[in-house]
Amino acid sequence: MLLGMAGSVPAPVTLVIGDEELLAERAVSVIVAAARAQDAGAEVHDLVGSKVTTGELTQLTSPSLFGDRTVVVVRSAHDLGKDVISEVISYARQPSDDVVLVLAHPGGVKGKALVDGVKKAGAAVVTVAKVTKPAERLEFVKAEFKRAGRGISGEAAQALLEAVGNDLRELAAACNQLMFDTQDKTITPTAVARYHKGRAEVTGFNVADSAVEGRLGEALEQLRWALGTGVAPVLLVSALAGGLRSIAKVAGAPRNLRGGQLASHLGMPPWKIDRVRRQVKGWGPEGLARAMQAVADADEQVKGGGADPAYALEHTVQVIVASRTGR
C-alpha cells in the first residue's frame, strides 16, 4: 500500500480517507517522504483539524519568497470548521505548485462536505481500507516482514496473530521486535513461540509501559505471568530497553520541532511520540541513566551471566520504577 510512492512526485492535494489509523498514518508519511525527496529542505506543518483557524491555510500555502516547498498535513480533517472547509476546497481548485497539502479524514458523515468538495476539485484520493478479515491481517503481517527485506512462513504468521491479537499497532510492534531479536532471513513458528508465547495481552511492551509509568505492582504481575507462560526473558529485557530508549529520544529531542518534523527526526510515528511524551513526565537524566544501567545488567544476566533470569528481571523492574522520580 503506497510502498512505491516514496520516489514519485506527490499530488498538490491528497485526501487520505479511512479509519484504520496505523495505515492512514503510514499513507500520510509516505506522501510527506515523497515531498521531502523532491526537496530535502521542505518545511512540514503538521496540524490537527479542530485547531486550524480561518486564514491559517492561506497563510501556510502562500508562495515562499525563496521558492521553498511547503508540506501541510491536516489530521482529523473531519473536525475542520465550516469556514475552514470552504477555504480548503477553494484552495484545492487552484493549488500552489510549491505546496503539498495532505488531508487525513476517517470517513463517515462528519466533514463529508470537505471530502466531496476536494474530490470534485480534483484532489488525489488514497483510500485506506479497514482490515477486518483474518486473511487480511495475515497479509499485513507478511507485508511487515517483506518491507524489511525479511520473510515469515504462513504458519509463523498465523502463530504471531494468535499470540499478539488483532490490533494493527500491536502487530506492527511485535513484527519489529521479532525482526530485531532474530537473525533468520525467514521467521519460523519456533521463533514466534520462543518470543511471543503466552497471553496475547501480556507482552513485553505491556510490562515495559507499566514499569516506565511507575506502576510497580502491575508491572511485576504482568512480568510474572509472562514468565510463567513461557515468554522469553530476552524479549522482556528488549522491551524494557526499548521503552527507556524511546523516553530518552523524546526527552532529548529539539524543542523547536513539532508534528511531522519531530516524527521524522525521531523515526517514530506521531501516536507513539504522544504516548512517550506522557511517559517522560517524572523522568530525569540521572534516573534514566540508572534505569538503563539496570537493564544492561539484566541483559547480561538473562543471556547466561546469572543463575536466575526471573529475579534479575524483577529487580530491574523495581529499579526502573524507583528511578522514575530521579532528576
Interhelix angle 270-280/259-266, nearest 10 degrees? 80
Q: Are 183 and 147 in contact (CB under 8 A)?
A: no
pLDDT of amino acid 203: 67
Instruction: Indicate the residue type of 18.
Output: G
Closest CA to 202 of 245, 247, 170: 170
Supply 6's cell numbers.
Answer: 516514496
CA distance 86 to 93: 11
| Cα dihedral 90/95/99/105 (nearest 10) | 50
Q: Where are the alpha helices (DSSP H) in the chain?
A: 21-38, 56-60, 82-93, 112-120, 134-147, 154-164, 168-181, 189-196, 204-212, 216-228, 233-251, 259-266, 270-280, 285-300, 309-323
Q: Please report the pLDDT score of residue 41 as a whole number.
A: 83
Question: Tens of pLDDT along the chain (327 residues)?
Answer: 443 444 478 999 999 999 888 899 899 989 999 998 888 888 889 999 999 999 999 999 887 656 678 999 999 999 999 999 999 999 999 999 899 999 999 998 999 999 999 999 999 999 998 888 888 999 999 999 998 999 999 888 988 887 777 778 878 888 888 888 788 899 988 888 777 654 444 567 888 988 999 999 989 988 988 887 777 788 889 889 989 998 998 888 887 777 667 777 777 777 778 888 888 888 999 999 999 999 999 988 887 766 788 999 999 999 999 998 754
What letter represents residue 3's amino acid?
A: L
Q: What is the pLDDT of residue 15?
A: 97
pLDDT (0 to 100) of residue 314: 94
Looking at residue 5, what is its pLDDT? 47
CA angle 283, 288, 294 (to 5 degrees): 135
